[in-house]
Amino acid sequence: SAVISQKPSRDICQRGTSLTIQCQVDSQVTMMFWYRQQPGQSLTLIATANQGSEATYESGFVIDKFPISRPNLTFSTLTVSNMSPEDSSIYLCSVSGTGGGEQYFGPGTRLTVT
Amino acid sequence: GEDVEQSLFLSVREGDSSVINCTYTDSSSTYLYWYKQEPGAGLQLLTYIFSNMDMKQDQRLTVLLNKKDKHLSLRIADTQTGDSAIYFCAETSGGGADGLTFGKGTHLIIQP
């Protein structure tokens, strides 16, 4: 399975600021995804991070609020822009495995907006 | 949109079998997954099953898929205190190329 790291692991930010979350994988992967897990809730897909092109966003998520970069096959960033307390969540990246079907998750970034 | 439903809580005695159930609506699901999340931790992929299979077994874990009824279950044999966690069911219709749709998770509570 892929080894996935995220930075930072947690942060406390003031409203109106932005935070960039990094996701690093120890091997090249085709697909990378970003999810949000609001407190006590399930996971919701934010977007698919496409290498070399713009990310594909799910309904309810927009590029201006959650810009994503994917400069190569092992790295991606998610920025949470102009934050409000409602953005307080755990943000997780995931990658598809090589066996066909499996998807692995990073440890998550716990964001608190005050 | 597509939906995945799970019971919120399941309580079992230590040593008994746990059966966590999940239903989904996407008739074109290709893969179905079970993830485990312990308090304060990330998501651990427990197992997944391709939609043309009806059963998969891995040590203490048995996954059953009834594609006709769109029903997925996870059986944990000889449940231990370390199995206490939230178990998420998830599905995708795009193989490894699409993201997953998750259920709300089932809290598995182990009684001594």
For A102, the closest of B43, B45, B102 (CB atoms) is: B45
CA pseudo-torsion sign B67, A96, B96, B2: positive
Q: Tell me the average pLDDT across A20-48.
A: 95
Q: Find which of A30, A103, A105, A110 to mutate to test the B interface (most B CBs within 10 Å of its CB).
A: A103
- Is A43–B100 a contact, with Cβ atoms under 8 angstroms apart? yes
User: CA-CA distance, B45 to B81, in Å (whole number)?
Assistant: 19
Smallest CA–CA distance, residue B85 to chain A, in Å, is 13
| Total beta-carbon pairs less than 8 A apart between chain A and chain B | 60
Nearest beta carbon to residue A33 from set B44, B50, B99: B99
Distance from CA of B8 to the nearest CA of A (A): 11
**Average pLDDT of the residues of chain B:** 94
| Local structure of residue B29 (DSSP, 8 states) | -
What per-residue confidence (pLDDT) applies to A97? Answer: 76
Helix (H, G, I), strand (E, B) or coil at A97: coil
pLDDT, mean of residues A89-95: 96
Nearest CA in chain B to A5: B42
Q: Which residue of A has its CA nearest to B5?
A: A42
pLDDT tens for B48-87 read 999 999 999 999 999 999 999 999 999 999 999 999 999 9
pLDDT of residue A2: 85
Confidence of residue B96 (pLDDT cuts 50, 70, 90): low
In this complex, the residue of B31, B97, B103 whose CB is nearest that of residue A42 is B103
Q: What is the pLDDT of residues A42-68, one digit of tens each?
A: 999 999 998 888 999 999 999 999 999
Nearest to A104 among B1, B45, B103 (CB): B45
Q: How far apart are CA A111 and CA A114, in angstroms?
A: 10
Report whether A92 contacts A105 (CB < 8 A). yes
Minimal C-alpha gap between B14 and chain A (Å): 25
The Cα of A96 is separated from the nearest Cα of chain B by a number of Å equal to 6
Interface test with B, best of A42, A56, A76 (most B CBs within 10 A): A42
Please give the C-alpha separations between residue A18 and each of A24, A106, B51, B62, in angstroms, as whole numbers: 20, 21, 41, 44
Q: Where are the beta strands (DSSP E) in chain B?
A: 4-6, 9-13, 18-24, 31-37, 43-50, 55-58, 61-66, 71-76, 85-92, 101-102, 106-111
B95: helix, strand or coil: helix
Evaluate whether B29 touches B96 at the Cβ level (below 8 Å): no
